[in-house]
Amino acid sequence: MQPTVTIVGAGQAGMAMSRCLTERSIDHVLVERGEPANAWQTERWDSLRLLTPNWMTRLPGHQYAGSDPHGYMRASEVVDFLLGYARSFDAPILTSTTVQEVSSRDGGYSVRTDRGTWQTRVVVVATGAAGTPHVPTVAADLPRSISQLTPSEYRNPMQLSEGRVLVVGASASGVQIADELARAGKPVALAVGDHVRLPRTYRGMDIHWWLDTLGFLDERWDQVEDLARARRLPSLQLVGSPEQRTLDLNAATAIGVELFGRLVGVTGDTLQFSGSLPNMCASADLKQQRLLEAIDQYALANGLDDELTEPTRPKPTAVSAFHTEIQLSDVETVIWATGYRPNYPWLEQHLLDRKGAIRHDGGVMTQPGMYALGLPFGRRRKSTFLDGVGPDAHDLSEHIVGFLDLVSARNQRGLR
């Protein structure tokens, strides 16, 4: 086997790229460590639904065609959707194959896997943004009596013992898990750091409709003011639910979740939390306020005011008295909803920055013929969205065509 292009990962990004390459008749293979859409099949909790509404499920040549465009897909429905996508163009997927090393060789790349090695011209890294859950170093200081889970391991409240749960992180995963556990009757503490607060709907429309309509999701990597910061932005504090409910910190405290600042360490027998909680909440409130302001201005400028409901602004996050310590003996489980970190032990070191992330310019890596797809703000703000990876895949497949043309032109000159 000597495919021209090797795509690592058969999730939404890999499949979108496969579809674009198929259209351009470029032979390729998708290498998948497990089954297609693996993370959606094996690393998501039971109740999880997409954060984006169903109509926002547009991949190159394929989109949601069900009867509930304003609903939010369950993880199992996402799996079905992606498997259907792969079938629709007969994506060449090599399952249960783990890439062990990609190295430069003979002007191309040698791809070594646990099921054989082959030579390829182009490599597309499409292993996703939610690869390895990040667990802060403080985890090592916790006693064995406290059980620890990441969102990839969490399934449902039944899995946990009766005692108090500390959920660390208040982005989408953290607030959703904290909410679910509190509803199941468990005492829940939520450690809150930087987060992006958003209402599920505003003036009668889904917040993602607004973000899409205002062009916010299409913002490009080469136009955004502070790219490094934009790429670090935590996931939106949202939940996809049939009743379109807003899940912010006020909603969490209303059902008994107790808010704490960022978890900063363990001293003796106590967990220490930052006293910066009020500022974290105030900052998130201010940013939400600015976005809703921009929405109102857009609605006014485009004559939408009559069709929309009244602008009702969410209440500021209520942070009254809060504690900065919890006794270790008062916690039975800690759930680390602290995001994901890049992990590419199979890539050459020079391709990564000092934090281990892929160095790239809009998905074009530092070595010709290598590409990264589906990373935070890869080419657009929506690069990690099921609805957003398509345009990036399209752009990069065009780049790949240009690269392959250049290589063959060079080879022909070399032959003469």
Partner 1 sequence: MTTIETTSHLNGVRVEEILGAREALTDMPEAAQFQWTAQAEWVSGTHTKSTLENFFGLGEEQSHRRAFTYSTDHPEIFASDDHGPTPVEMVLVGLAGCLTAGVATVATNRGIELRSVKATVTGDMDLAGVLGIDPDVRNGYSGVTVHYEIDADASREEIEAVVAQSQKRSAVYDALTNPTAVRVEVA
Residues that bind partner 1 (CB under 8 A): 261-262, 264-265, 267, 272, 274-276, 279, 282-283, 286, 289-290, 354
What is the chain's length?
416
Q: Among residues 184 and 318, whose Cβ is nearest to partner 1?
A: 318
How does DSSP assign 87-103, residue by residue? HHTT--EE-S--EEEEE
* CA 137 to mean position of chain CA atoms: 22
Q: Among residues 282 and 328, whose Cβ is nearest to partner 1?
A: 282
Q: Are 74 and 44 in contact (CB under 8 A)?
A: no
Q: Among residues 290 and 341, whose Cβ is nearest to partner 1?
A: 290
- φ/ψ region of 351 (left if φ > 0, alpha if ψ in -120 to 50, else beta) reads alpha
Q: Is residue 123 classed exposed, middle or buried when 0-12, 13-18 and 19+ CB atoms within 10 A define those classes?
A: buried
Write down the least CB distance from residue 294 to partner 1, Å: 12
Write down the least CB distance from residue 249 to partner 1, Å: 16
Q: Among residues 67 and 320, whose Cβ is nearest to partner 1?
A: 320
Write down the least CB distance from residue 372 to partner 1, Å: 21
* Rg, C-alpha atoms of the chain: 23
Give the tokens for residue 349.
Answer: 């070191």
Instruction: Find, among 255, 231, 250, the residue nearest to 378 by Cα.
Output: 231
How does DSSP assign 32-77, residue by residue? -SSSTTHHHHHSS-TT-B-SS-GGG-EETTEE--SS-TTS--BHHH
Distance CA 38, CA 203 (A): 37
Write down the least CB distance from residue 358 to partner 1, Å: 17
Distance CA 292, CA 289 (A): 5
Q: Among residues 273 and 371, whose Cβ is nearest to partner 1?
A: 273
Write down the least CB distance from residue 292 to partner 1, Å: 12
Q: Among residues 166 and 182, whose Cβ is nearest to partner 1?
A: 166
Write down the least CB distance from residue 276 to partner 1, Å: 5
Q: Among residues 34 and 314, whose Cβ is nearest to partner 1?
A: 314
Write down the least CB distance from residue 274 to partner 1, Å: 5
Tokens 């859950």 found at: 133
Write down the least CB distance from residue 69 to partner 1, Å: 35
Distance CA 370, CA 389 (A): 17
Distance CA 311, CA 283 (A): 21
Q: Among residues 116 and 265, whose Cβ is nearest to partner 1?
A: 265
Write down the least CB distance from residue 290 to partner 1, Å: 7
Q: Among residues 354 and 416, whose Cβ is nearest to partner 1?
A: 354
| Residues whose CB is less than 8 angstroms from the CB of residue 7 and which lie 6 or more positions away in sequence, other chains included | 14, 17, 18, 21, 28, 29, 30, 31, 124, 126
